[in-house]
Structure 1
Amino acid sequence: MPGNSGTGAVTRSTLRQQIADALRDEVLAGRLQPGQECTVKEIAEQYGVSATPVREALVDLSAQGLLEADQHRGFRVREYSLDDLRAMIEARGLVADGMFRAIAEGHKPFPRLDDRSFITTLAGVRRRGEEAQRAAAAGDLAVLIGYDLRFWRELAALFGNPYLSDFLYRLRVQCWACSVQYLRRRTDLRGELWAEHTALVDALATGDTTTARAIVAAYNADALALVERLANGT
């Protein structure tokens, strides 16, 4: 019946997303290492599901840049280099800088501070930033990544361009996937990780895009410097 067919499609789509999310978290947690193979059969058996949603999830993650398709062996976790990370950080910096410039020059007005819906949304973004800062202070990388991704996705959404927000989210996921292999080499990351989320929100809330741009520029420089130090064993 049409109704049952529709429900089945929704269920499969949801399962596909759940598997993709779970595997993405495995990559970001460092449990799936760069170069490690992921076969449809193994993943399906691990999660106790059929091959179809697993294959679709792996294709999705490949499109997001976290996996690479191997014609003969399935998929493997993508191996990023430091040059890749440098290019990613440059890209995300250029996009964020362009967004802030557009706001400052009036090409893309930020929502008004007397807009009740905007105030509520911004408060939610700030809470995400507070949680990210607590995780950074504690050196809890797994928790930080989760809140950091939500923070930036919700902050970018305030700009009002869903394509831009989605692009930045994927780019940030790739940055974390590249960085985490180095960050996990250090057992204690307390005081090492960026924790200026709320300062950025506060700057944007008052329309201070100059400070916002400076915060993001410093963040990008510090994040790259940390990974480069760890890659060099210092």
Structure 2
Amino acid sequence: MPGTDGPAVIRSTLRQQIADALRDEVLAGRLEPGQEFTVKEIAEQYGVSATPVREALVNLTAQGLLDADQHRGFHVHEHTLDDYRSMLEARGLIADGIFRDLMAQGDARAANARAANAPTGDATAPRDNTEALFAVRRRGEEAARAACAGDLTVLIGYDLRFWRELSALFGNAYLSDFLHRLRVKSWVCAVTHLRRWSDINGGDLRGLLWSRHTELVDALVRKDPEAAHGIVREYNAHSLSLIERLAAA
């Protein structure tokens, strides 16, 4: 019946909206590691019932962003430097697989087009990733601009969109979703140190944040996986060195 799924869909949407809002609060540093809260407090804050809030908090707990305190509520998960190192290692492995597949897809499509003698621009010809990569590049431009300006909030938003759209080209929705969640967690871990540094130094993060997003896309457009691997390795090394340095400080 047309109306039977309405309430469930609305509740699911509300649950996701609350989960997204709380995730953004953690990324912005307004919910800090170890900070405690209850379902009732969050429900009152957003003016909603307890059910979608509880579902949202359980969802975020499953993603590793929150921890449940039995009979008390929830608190923001506290990540360690070892956690961050492991996240970067996992991110690197997934990125290697994505780039390898992107190159293979491009080569296979080109071979199929040649075999079919499909003219360039023909709507029936196999679609190359180049056009899609240029669309991703625009996200990279915004991310790089925010990084150079030291605007952490804008950078995180565009960086997550950049990697989500790039990984979507991989064609494996499960892997893309896993990488997105992993990148969210790594940003949550990093943002604590970056926000503290920003507070100490008058909010200036210029010169600290990685900004080679467009170079990565350009390497993929050139079908140069070695250059892409090198850029990602440099990214991970830069990120780890930065967070270790800020943590020590």
Q: TM-score range by the shorter chain?
A: over 0.9
Q: CA-atom RMSD, angstroms?
A: 1.8
1:152-196 CA-to-partner distances (Å, cap 9, x unmatched) read 011011111111101110110000010000011222111110101
Matched, 1:140 2:157: no
Runs of 4+ with deviation above 6 angstroms: none
1:98 alignment partner in structure 2: 97
The answer as to 2:31 corresponding to 1:15 is: no
What do the CA deviations read for 1:113-137 (whole angstroms, capped 9, x no partner)?
8665744432221111111011101
1:74-89 → structure 2 map (5 Å cutoff) = 74-89=73-88
1:169 alignment partner in structure 2: 180
1:219 aligns with 2:235: yes
**Range that drifts further, 210-219 or 30-39:** 30-39
Assess if the C-alpha contact under 8 Å between 1:16 and 1:56 holds in 2.
yes
Q: Based on CA coordinates, which of the two structures has the bigger radius of gyration?
A: 2
Q: Which moved more, 1:42-51 or 1:113-122?
A: 113-122
Aligned partner of 1:199 in structure 2 is 215
Q: CA deviation at 1:103?
A: 4.9
Q: Given residue 47 of structure 1, which amino acid in structure 2 is its aligned partner? A: Y
| 1:206 CA drift (Å) | 1.5
Which letter does structure 2 place at the counterpart of 1:200?
Answer: L
Q: SS of the counterpart of 1:4?
A: coil
The residue type paired with residue 225 of structure 2 is: T
SS class of match (2:197): coil
Cα drift, residue 6 of structure 1: 1.6
Confirm or deny that 1:130 pairs with 2:129.
no
Contact 1:111/1:118 (CA < 8 Å) preserved in 2?
A: no
Structure 1 residues 154 and 111, CA, compared in 2 at 3 Å: closer, same or farther? farther
1:100 Cα deviation after fit: 2.8
Deviation at residue 85 of structure 1 after TM alignment: 0.4
The one-letter code matched in structure 1 to 2:190 is S
2:23 counterpart residue number: 24
Residue 167 of structure 2 contacts residue 176 of structure 2 at CA under 8 Å; is this kept in 1?
A: yes
- Extract unaligned runs of 5+ from structure 1: none
Question: What TM-score comes out, normalization by structure 1 length?
Answer: 0.92
Q: Distance in 2 between matches of 1:60 and 1:27?
A: 14
Separation in 1, partners of 2:52, 2:102:
41
Write out aligned runs for 1:104-123 (5 A): 106=104, 109=106, 118-123=129-134
- The answer on whether the counterparts of 1:110 and 1:159 sit within 8 Å (CA) in structure 2 is no
